[in-house]
Every structure is written in structure tokens, then in C-alpha cells.
Structure 1
């Protein structure tokens, strides 16, 4: 993997391990010479991630809307900043050309980005690994919901496996490196 889109919160959360995970992920990706593409923000886990990538000599690109950048939320340390008109354009550019996605804890925006990537994977429009870093069980309720969707016939098991989930960064990256996208046998 040469580049990873990282989705994460514009808030830091209220537990120290969220910030620690963003810092560690930024460090690991920088050390492995994996380019990071992120939401461009200076606040929350986005800012923590970017600071870590930069502090460790990594390569990072931000993608932010004019609106968010106008609110002075763009990370000034990120020199490669793409400013777009809409959130849909932002989501598209975040994953376009990347070799995978990692979603850290976050809110609506992070989930929106994560599920857009999964939907594109389901439609065979993004055939790269999509990882969910389940820091201290943060995403356990979401994992249960995905399983519930399978159990109730709204999500095929094959598509459920498009979401790679691990509690530790090293495990997640290892699973993502072994990922092989498989086409659906049938749609219904």
C-alpha cells in the first residue's frame, strides 16, 4: 500500500486512547512511507493525525471544503491541500487513487465517508481494503448493527466482509495487506 485515506473525527473524543490511536497511526504510516489522504482539518483527531504524520516526516494530503477552510479549520502545516466546493466532491477525492481506507473513531462525517467507501466497494467501484479501527471497542455497536443487517437479510455476508475490523493498528494493516476484492456472485 502506497497511500491510505484516513477518516476520523473533527473532535478528539473524551477518552485519551482515541488521540493516542490517531497519533500512533500517523507515526506508523509515516514510518512505512504510506501517503495519508485525510479531511484536511486542524481540529480533533484529524489534526492529531496530521500533526503525527508531519512530525514523523510523512507525506500527507488534505481535502477540505471552501466552507470548512473559511472557518479556519484547515491544517496550516499541510502543504498539499485540495479545496473543493462540496462534501460529495471531498468524499470522492479522499479515496480516489488510494490503496485503502482506515476509519478511526468519529461521528457522522466519519461514518458517512466510511459507508460511502463500502457502498462503492459493494458496487465494484472501489476494490481496495476498507478498515475500521475499533479503538477500545468504540465501534462494537456498529459491528453488531452490521451483523444484524446480515441476520435480517439487508446485507449479504460477502458484502459484510468488505469491512475489515480490528482493535489494533498492526492487525488492521496486516489484514488490509492480505485483502483480495471478490466480485459478488449475485445481487439478490
Structure 2
């Protein structure tokens, strides 16, 4: 799979562990090395700011997407390759997905969780056929990963759907897996939902 741009979900805070910001910079370095652009939430603070600034320092392409209501709260980055301002969060997420060939979640808070779960759900339903990944930095997502495995064991998440979410600790490895990603065939449920939406 040709990866032109990767959408990165991450926090507008930096977190307590310096490894979170350092890993964001490492991801940026690998993206630039592979000529892959960054699509992200458009802020200049926290982990979001760290990954965007490192991309720009290395000469990478950065597309930011931020809703009007968060322009001041998240401090929109003014030095990006492109900055799109949307009317709503729904429009923001749709535009980020439209510009991307894959999705990676770095450490973040509630917004990061919501974005990851939504785009992973879209993959499960067959609404897109792009890889979804989780970078588990310094064990940040250990308990979430354990819970997802528990949900699969308990029969609420089907094993093929659980496998749609790639988990790695190394940015290069997750991008390697994404480049080799082959989407599953569309499920009957997805086909039914697609027809209902038309």
C-alpha cells in the first residue's frame, strides 16, 4: 500500500513521561525519511505540537485540521504546509480521514481514544480499507490492549476485527506493517450498511 499521508491522533498535552514527546519526534523522523506526510489535529502544543514541529524542522509535509471552536483552546499552528479550519469536530475527523492512507494513535486523552475507536470502527464496518495502528509508548496503552483482548475473549469483539488494530512500540515497525497491509474482504454487514446509506 502506498502511504502518501498518515493521520496521527495524539494529545494536546505532553504527558508526564518525556518518552511520549520523544516517540512523537521519532515517528516524525521516520515519516520524513519515507516521504510520508503528516495529517493531524492542527495544534502547536503537547504531543501534537511535537510531532508537527519535528516534521517541519526536517522539511516534511504537515496538514493540520482544526475546528473553529478549538482555534484558541488548542492554539492552532500557523506554520504548517496546510491548515484547514472546519465548522465541527465531525467535519474535522472526516477531512483528516479523507487526506490519509492510514491512522496511528500516539499517547493522548479522551479525544485521541475517541478518534482511534471511530476510525477503527469504520474499518470494521468496511467504510474504509486503510490500516489502523496504535503506538504503545512506554506501556501507555498496556491496560487498553489487555481490555481489548478481554473484549475479544468475551465474544464482544470478533478476532478478525481485533486484528485490524495493529499494535507496535517502534514507529518504523508500524509503518512497515502499514505498507504491507491488505484489507479484509468487506463483511455482509458493511455492504448492508453501505446500501442503506445510499
Q: TM-score range by the shorter chain?
A: over 0.9
Say what the alpha-carbon RMSD is for the aligned residues: 1.3
User: 5+ unaligned residues in a row in structure 1: which ranges?
Assistant: none
CA displacement 1:134-182 (0-9 Å, x = unmatched): 0111111111111111111111000001100001111111111111110
- TM-score, structure 1 length as denominator? 0.95
For 1:174, the equivalent position in structure 2 comes to 176
Off by >6 Å, runs of 4+ in structure 1: none
Moved more, 24-33 or 53-62: 24-33
CA displacement at 1:84 relative to structure 2: 0.5
For 2:101, the equivalent position in structure 1 comes to 99
Aligned 1:7-156 pairs, distance under 5 A = 7-71=9-73, 73-156=75-158
For 2:194, the equivalent position in structure 1 comes to none
CA displacement 1:28-81 (0-9 Å, x = unmatched): 111211011000001100000110000000001000011111346101211410
Shift in CA distance, 51/10, structure 1 to aligned 2, threshold 3 Å: same
For residues 171 and 115 of structure 1, the distance between their equivalents in structure 2, rounded to whole angstroms, comes to 21
CA displacement at 1:185 relative to structure 2: 5.5
CA displacement 1:97-154 (0-9 Å, x = unmatched): 4110111000111111111110110111110111100011111111111111111111
For residues 102 and 72 of structure 1, the distance between their equivalents in structure 2, rounded to whole angstroms, comes to 20
For residues 63 and 70 of structure 1, the distance between their equivalents in structure 2, rounded to whole angstroms, comes to 14
Matched position secondary structure for 1:131: strand
Matched position secondary structure for 1:6: strand
Is the Cα–Cα contact under 8 Å of residues 129 and 183 in structure 2 kept in the other structure? yes
For residues 171 and 79 of structure 1, the distance between their equivalents in structure 2, rounded to whole angstroms, comes to 26
**Count of residue correspondences:** 187
Shift in CA distance, 72/45, structure 1 to aligned 2, threshold 3 Å: closer
For residues 94 and 54 of structure 2, the distance between their equivalents in structure 1, rounded to whole angstroms, comes to 24
- TM-score, structure 2 length as denominator? 0.90
